[in-house]
Amino acid sequence: MKIAHFSRWGFLMAAAGSAVGLGNIWKFPYIAGEYGGGAFVLVYIMTVAFVGFTVMIAEMLIGYLGRLDNVGSFESLAPRNKEKWKFAGFMGLSGTLVMFYYSVVIGWIFYYIGLSFDTLPATIPEAELIYNTMLTHGLWTQVFYHTIAFMITTAVLMRGIKGGIEKFSLILMPGLILIIAGMLIYAMNLDSFSRAVEYMFVPDWSKLTSEAFAVAVGHAFFTLSLGMGAIMIYSASLPKESNIVRAALFVISMDTLIALSAGLVLFTFLFQYGAQPAKGPGLVFISLPAVFHAMGAAGNVLSVLFFVALAFAGLTSAVSLVEPMVQYLIDRWKMTRAKAAISMGLFFYFFGLMAIFSELESTSQLLTWGGRNFFDWSDYITSNILLPVGGLLMAIFVGHVMEKERVASVLRTHMGWFYPVWYFNVRYVAPVALVFVMLNLMGVIVF
Ligand code: PHE
């Protein structure tokens, strides 16, 4: 049972906090770089607008009407086959598995905040060495910072929706927005800004392979926090009489604006100092620090601010990844919030350690199967399988299972003429898009 509700702003900041995460600032620029820029960005934006928006409304609606933990919401809203639909609710608990690697990456960011106060690496090879040493030999460094990420996340979750998540987001999100906006203004005054704009917005269709297409669609879901029950569990604490259509539009706009701004800032800096855009996961940890070095003292300040913003983004998403499980344990297993938060914290903490070990040179062999280590598997399984399946079940549930009138009664007034378009999308377009992503990412279809 939900006791405390979000305030209106509290919800918007918490939901935007969930959406704006490592996906926006760490992942988006490097995958846009890897898959060639413009065309990729365009597919991503179209998916966010047409499919992401549709599924976000569906996910919010289930939470908003169900008002229980995710399993309970599916169960109570299913007109029949309640026992079966309960399992869709279990899919909505899978966010905690994302934390196996997410918490480790937040740890790296903390480490880099510390490094930013010191002398930054002067060249890319030097930066590469720092990053690789941390990854393959830095057991204690990584464990130390992963522990801090675990402690902050768990402490916020223990304080609940109102005193924890809402308060935390109301402080961190405005901070993050200010930093990114400030950096964008700074980047706009550099010569390479126009090149960055061109790189991100002028499509070169020849670079759009089917894989790039599927990654763009998949990332659109990940970045909006869809399919994992995070948005659903927050929506269960919305005040009655909220306008979820407006809320979804706000969250999506914020998420997209921050991703695009982060991309523009990063590419401007990279071009300005002659670094390569296609650098993979190391982009912000390798190319960027070397670029900051080239900027002199201002670089150190920018570096601290950048990694602080990244940490803020990561932490507000982290709490949303675990909250569905915490609420489930409270509602179904009758645990106290403190106990639920600590058990789930320890759960991802332990597997996070495995992710660290799976990257270390001395132990990676033991934790690698089929060409992927534990760290990569937890990303692969959550992003490519659990998330699309979760999103698919939500779209089917709202589009084909829930009573039509029930869905319409909430949305029709807020959507007006657009309602039939949305309903068609949630019934047909979103499921087809999700099945496509899944099959493509699993290598079943390639064109
Ligand atoms: N949206 C977050 C990001 O961009 C990640 C996330 C996915 C959070 C799913 C919650 C649920 O980093």
- CB atoms inside a 10 Å sphere around CB 207: 13
How far is ligand 1, taken at its centre, from the CA of residue 225, in Å? 4
Which residues are CB-contacts of 417 (< 8 A; sequence separation ≥ 6)? Answer: none
How far is ligand 1, taken at its centre, from the CA of residue 388, in Å? 13
Q: Answer yes or no: is pLDDT of 95 > 60.
A: yes
Q: Tell me the C-alpha distance between 176 and 1, whole Å.
A: 32
- Residue to mutate (ligand 1; options 27, 60, 223; most atoms within 8 A of CB): 223
Residue 437: per-residue pLDDT: 82
Q: Which atom belonging to ligand 1 lies closest to the Cα atom of 226?
A: 9
Distance of CA 235 to the CA centre of its chain: 17
The angle subtended at Cα 248 by Cα 387 and Cα 13, nearest 5°, is 95
- Residue to mutate (ligand 1; options 222, 257, 316, 348; most atoms within 8 A of CB): 222
Pocket of ligand 1 contains residue 18 by CB under 6 Å:
yes
Q: Tell me the C-alpha distance between 30 and 270, whole Å.
A: 12
What percent of the chain stands above pLDDT 70?
98
Report if residue 67 sits inside a domain. Answer: yes
Report if residue 331 sits inside a domain. Answer: yes
Report if residue 50 sits inside a domain. Answer: yes
Report if residue 221 sits inside a domain. Answer: yes
Are 359 and 135 within 8 A, CB to CB? yes
Calculate mean pLDDT across residues 376-402. 93
CA distances (Å), 261 to each of 37, 182, 215, 426, in order? 14, 10, 20, 29
Calculate mean pLDDT across residues 380-408. 94
Higher pLDDT, 226 or 212: 226
How far is ligand 1, taken at its centre, from the CA of residue 333, in Å? 26
Report if residue 446 sits inside a domain. Answer: no
What percent of the chain stands above pLDDT 90?
81
Phi-psi region of 42 (alpha: psi -120 to 50; beta: other; left: phi over 0): alpha
Q: Answer yes or no: is pLDDT of 185 > 80.
A: yes
Tokens 């699309």 map to which residue? Answer: 388
Tokens of 307: 């990694």
CA distances (Å), 167 to each of 129, 156, 160, 440, 442, in order? 39, 9, 10, 40, 39
The chain-wide mean pLDDT, for the chain, equals 93
How far is ligand 1, taken at its centre, from the CA of residue 298, in Å? 31
Report which protein residue has its CA nearest ligand 1's atom 10.
225
Report which protein residue has its CA nearest ligand 1's atom 9.
225
Report if residue 3 sits inside a domain. Answer: no
Number of domains in the chain: 1
Q: Answer yes or no: is pLDDT of 447 > 70.
A: no
- 116-158, pLDDT tens digit by residue? 999 899 988 999 999 999 999 999 999 999 999 999 999 999 9
**368-369 and 372-373 beta bridge pairing:** antiparallel
The half-sphere exposure of 274 on its side-chain side, counting CA atoms within 13 A, is 4
How confident is residue 182, by pLDDT bands cut at 50, 70 and 90?
very high
Q: 368: helix, coil or strand?
A: strand
Tell me how many helices (H) and strands (E) the chain has: 24, 2
Helices (H), 240-359: 244-272, 288-294, 297-332, 337-359
Which domain covers residue 332, as residue numbers? 8-441
Q: Which atom belonging to ligand 1 lies closest to the Cα atom of 387?
A: 9
Tokens of 388: 């699309």
How confident is residue 384, by pLDDT bands cut at 50, 70 and 90?
confident
Residue 332: per-residue pLDDT: 94
- 233-283, pLDDT tens digit by residue? 999 999 988 999 999 999 999 999 999 999 999 999 999 987 777 677 888
How far is ligand 1, taken at its centre, from the CA of residue 256, in Å? 13
Q: Answer yes or no: is pLDDT of 9 > 70.
A: yes
Lowest-pLDDT choice from 3-12, 296-305, 425-434: 3-12
Could you tell me which residues are beta bridge partners of residue 327? none
Residue 1: per-residue pLDDT: 54
> Where residue 418 sits, what CATH number does that domain have?
1.20.1740
Report if residue 447 sits inside a domain. Answer: no
Report if residue 1 sits inside a domain. Answer: no
Pocket of ligand 1 contains residue 317 by CB under 6 Å:
yes
Q: Which atom belonging to ligand 1 lies closest to the Cα atom of 229?
A: 11
How far is ligand 1, taken at its centre, from the CA of residue 21, in Å? 6
Higher pLDDT, 55 or 282: 55
In the chain, how long is the greatest CA-to-CA distance?
A: 65
Distance of CA 159 to the CA centre of its chain: 22
Are 34 and 42 within 8 A, CB to CB? no
- Residue to mutate (ligand 1; options 176, 321, 378, 385; most atoms within 8 A of CB): 321
Q: Tell me the C-alpha distance between 348 and 98, whole Å.
A: 9
Higher pLDDT, 206 or 420: 420
Residue 32: what are its φ and ψ, rounded to 5°? -60, -40
Q: Tell me the C-alpha distance between 156 and 163, whole Å.
A: 8
Pocket of ligand 1 contains residue 320 by CB under 6 Å:
yes
- Residue to mutate (ligand 1; options 225, 234, 254; most atoms within 8 A of CB): 225
**Exposed (0-12), middle (13-18) or buried (19+): which is 143, by Cβ within 10 Å?**
middle
How far is ligand 1, taken at its centre, from the CA of residue 395, in Å? 18
Residue 3: per-residue pLDDT: 59
How far is ligand 1, taken at its centre, from the CA of residue 391, in Å? 13
Q: Which atom belonging to ligand 1 lies closest to the Cα atom of 26?
A: 12
Are 57 and 248 within 8 A, CB to CB? yes
How confident is residue 210, by pLDDT bands cut at 50, 70 and 90?
confident
Q: Provide the residue type at 84 as one letter.
A: K
Pocket of ligand 1 contains residue 165 by CB under 6 Å:
no
How far is ligand 1, taken at its centre, from the CA of residue 99, in Å? 10
Strands (E), 122-235: none
Tokens of 421: 């378009």
Q: Tell me the C-alpha distance between 302 and 136, whole Å.
A: 27
CA distances (Å), 258 to each of 9, 14, 294, in order? 18, 15, 25
Residue 415: per-residue pLDDT: 95
- Residue to mutate (ligand 1; options 59, 256, 317, 326; most atoms within 8 A of CB): 317
Residue 126: per-residue pLDDT: 93
Calculate mean pLDDT across residues 331-357. 97
